């Protein structure tokens, strides 16, 4: 029985002397190069939190993979040990005949060893569950950060396009007007504004439809779209009435097609005739 207790290290380890922060960090870094062993899980004072802190330089996914492998190793060794040694002791008891009590005592020792190994396996599972929880929290934080960056990008793009289109802000204050003397109905300005609107629409589609920020910005988005289509219509009328501005006419019609509004261009041209 003592032989199996020594094998699985069930005796309580002596406490280690205190170490400095520098020694502790050096030990953590050196542990990255060493495979996991059963030693940390044999201690009665084992704590999943302390174990994770001591491996804070190791990627959580990699640590979980190592723990899964270690758990399988423990279970395989336990099964082989119980099957081999229990069979030997049962055979010994039968051959001795009158020492059946000894066999029962040895069997009890094996059960004690089995309980110890199962305790180690339980601690391994607790650590794996803690890693799963931390991985889930990490994924949730990353998703929140990604959404926050998306909302900030959408708000910035919306504000810039409102400024370029000379639209008043929601509080009624006129946005800073672009200092360029170029008209909003020039081909270049229409192309720039249409490209900005396409990017704005792309960002808006990535925001969850039920998100309150999307609903709060809906009226501003509608105002931007209405203003851009009015500028396009004005530019198209000017180009269509000019006999020498065919390049501008074709360019504006292309902008309509890229926005998926070719039908509206047809309606504007028909209204001129």
pLDDT score, position 88 = 63
DSSP letter for each residue of the chain? -HHHHHHHT-SPPPPPPP--HHHHHHHHHHHTTS---SHHHHSTT--HHHHHHHTTTS-HHHHHHHHHHHHHHHHHHHHHHHHHHHHHHHHHHHHHSTTHHHHHHHHHHHHHHHHHHHHHHHHHHHHHHHHHHHHHHHHHHHHHHHHHHHHHHHHHHHHHHHHHTTPBPTTSPBPPPP---S-TTSHHHHHHHHHHHHHHHHHHHHS-TT-HHHHHTHHHHHHHHHHHHHHHHHHHHHHHH-SS-HHHHHHHHHHHHHTT-HHHHHHHHHHH-
Say yes or no to pLDDT of 157 above 60.
Answer: yes
Model-level pTM greater than 0.85? no
219 vs 94, higher pLDDT: 219
pLDDT tens digits for range 42-91: 677 777 777 777 777 777 777 777 777 777 777 777 766 666 666 665 56
pLDDT score, position 100 = 53
pLDDT tens digits for range 79-134: 666 666 666 655 655 555 555 555 566 566 677 777 777 888 888 888 888 888 88
């Amino acid at each position: 029985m003592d032989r199996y207790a020594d094998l699985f290290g069930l005796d309580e380890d002596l406490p280690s002397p205190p170490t400095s922060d520098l020694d502790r960090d050096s030990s953590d870094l050196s542990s990255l190069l060493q495979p996991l062993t059963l030693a940390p899980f044999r201690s009665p004072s084992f704590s999943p939190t302390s174990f994770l802190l001591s491996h804070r330089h190791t990627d959580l996914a990699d640590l979980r993979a190592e723990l899964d492998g270690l758990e399988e190793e423990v279970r395989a060794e336990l099964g082989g040990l119980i099957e081999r040694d229990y069979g030997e002791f049962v055979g010994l008891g039968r051959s001795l005949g009158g020492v059946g009590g000894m066999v029962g005592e040895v069997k009890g020792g094996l059960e004690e060893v089995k309980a110890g190994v199962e305790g180690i396996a339980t601690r391994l599972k607790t650590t794996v569950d803690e890693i799963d929880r931390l991985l889930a929290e990490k994924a949730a934080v990353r998703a929140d950060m990604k959404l926050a960056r998306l909302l900030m990008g959408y708000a910035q793009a919306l504000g810039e396009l409102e400024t370029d289109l000379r639209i008043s802000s929601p509080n009624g204050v006129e946005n800073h007007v672009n200092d360029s003397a170029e008209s909003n109905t020039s081909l270049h300005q229409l192309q720039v504004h249409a490209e900005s609107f396409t990017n704005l629409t792309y960002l808006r589609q990535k925001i969850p439809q039920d998100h309150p920020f999307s609903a709060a910005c809906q009226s501003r988005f509608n105002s931007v779209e209405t203003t851009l289509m009015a500028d396009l219509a004005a530019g198209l009328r000017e180009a269509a009435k000019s006999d020498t501005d065919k390049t501008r006419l074709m360019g504006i019609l292309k902008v309509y097609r890229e926005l998926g509004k070719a039908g509206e261009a047809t309606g504007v041209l028909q209204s001129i005739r």
